[in-house]
């Protein structure tokens, strides 16, 4: 099985661990869980530095959906490239080939939610107060 086929299978196949759900449908999908560990620095030798850098990037991007989307695409693609020992470009092409445009948008929205949830306690509450109505509107404007 090629790397692209493995990526597609792992990201799109239903999992018994997640009661038949795929990565878009289940926040406990192994790759969603590992992605959260990737952005919190757990994969890095200097994990706290990575975590701090990602907090800064998320704070700078939030609540701009385009910037958040760019952040999660970059980080998820980097995570997949690392996991499958392939280039960033190959990982990106494999992810895009695995999903329809609609599914990619859904996946991006779920990854944005994961990133926000992971660092929500560190978001700049002075400039971006935690207003559920604003977050709900933000997520609806996809």
Residue ranges per domain, the chain?
A: 3-140
Q: Is the pLDDT of residue 133 over 80?
A: no
**Best CA proximity match to 12, nearest among 83, 100, 91, 111:** 100
Check residue 122 and report its DSSP letter.
G
Specify the pLDDT at position 138. Answer: 52
**Gap between the Cα atoms of 123 and 12, Å rounded:** 31
In angstroms, rounded to a whole number, what is the distance separating the alpha carbons of residues 107 and 100? 10
In this structure, the chain runs to a length of 142
Contact between 71 and 115 under an 8 Å Cβ cutoff? The reply is yes
In this structure, what is the dihedral angle of CA atoms 115, 127, 122, 120, given to the nearest 10 degrees? -40
Q: What's the chain's average pLDDT?
A: 86
What is the spatial distance between Cα 62 and Cα 116, in angstroms, rounded to a whole number? Answer: 8
* 80 vs 142, more confident: 80
**Quick one: pLDDT at residue 142?**
47
Average pLDDT over residues 72-99: 98
The residue-averaged pLDDT of 114-123 equals 78
Q: What is the pLDDT of residue 137?
A: 54
């Amino acid at each position: 099985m090629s790397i692209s086929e493995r990526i597609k299978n792992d990201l799109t196949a239903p999992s018994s661990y997640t009661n038949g759900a795929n990565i878009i449908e289940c926040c406990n999908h192994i790759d969603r869980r590992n992605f959260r560990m990737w952005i919190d620095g757990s994969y890095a030798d200097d994990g706290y530095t990575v975590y701090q850098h990602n907090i800064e990037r998320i704070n700078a991007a939030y609540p701009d959906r385009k910037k958040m989307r760019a952040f999660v695409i970059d980080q998820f693609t980097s995570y997949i490239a690392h996991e499958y020992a392939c280039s960033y470009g190959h990982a990106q092409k494999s992810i895009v080939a695995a999903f329809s445009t609609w599914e990619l948008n859904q996946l991006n929205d779920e990854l944005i939610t994961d990133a926000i949830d992971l660092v929500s306690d560190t978001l700049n509450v002075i400039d971006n107060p935690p207003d559920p109505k604003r977050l709900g509107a933000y997520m609806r404007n996809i």
